[in-house]
């Protein structure tokens, strides 16, 4: 069981919005900035959000991130079938002196 808690799965219809949560503690999310990654089966993860709410070049503004206290969220609006993937939050933990990943959330676009 991961120290960073994400819902294992989430589903929504095309065009709708989903929110993926990532819950941690004062030594990780409360301490450092959060990143989010998207991973399709058989491929390497891809950076979606860094520094809590910033998008790398090329990432659509349908993807947005936020952080409050010891929790972070990834919002995806205007869902597309191509968004079906696994999503992971990531942050440094000061107590463990290591990087933590959330357990991952599998997004299904119905």
Q: Which residues of this chain interact with another protein, rule CB under 8 A? A: 2, 32-33, 35, 37, 39, 44-47, 50-52, 56, 86, 88, 90, 92, 96-104
Closest distance to another protein from the beta carbon of 14 (Å): 26
Closest separation in Å from C-beta 63 to another protein: 14
Residue 62 CB partners (closer than 8 Å, separation 6+)? 76, 77, 78
- Residue 61 Cβ, how far from another protein at the closest point, in Å? 18
Q: Which is nearer to another protein, 74 or 88 (CB)?
A: 88
Q: Are 49 and 37 in contact (CB under 8 A)?
A: no
The residue (of 37 and 64) whose beta carbon lies closer to another protein is 37
Which is nearer to another protein, 15 or 46 (by Cβ)?
A: 46
**3-class DSSP assignment, residue 45:** coil
CA dist., res. 38 & res. 106, Å (int): 10
Q: How far apart are CA 90 and CA 28, in angstroms?
A: 9
């Amino acid at each position: 069981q991961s120290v960073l808690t994400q819902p294992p799965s989430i589903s929504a219809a095309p065009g709708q919005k989903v929110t993926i949560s990532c819950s941690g503690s004062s030594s990780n999310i409360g301490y450092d900035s959060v990143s989010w990654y998207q991973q399709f089966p058989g491929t390497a993860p891809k950076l979606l959000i860094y520094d809590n709410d910033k998008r790398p070049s090329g990432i659509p503004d349908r993807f947005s991130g936020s952080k409050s206290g010891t929790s972070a969220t990834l919002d995806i609006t205007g869902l597309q079938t191509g968004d079906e993937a696994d999503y992971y939050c990531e942050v440094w933990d000061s107590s463990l002196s290591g990087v933590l990943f959330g357990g991952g959330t599998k997004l299904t676009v119905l």
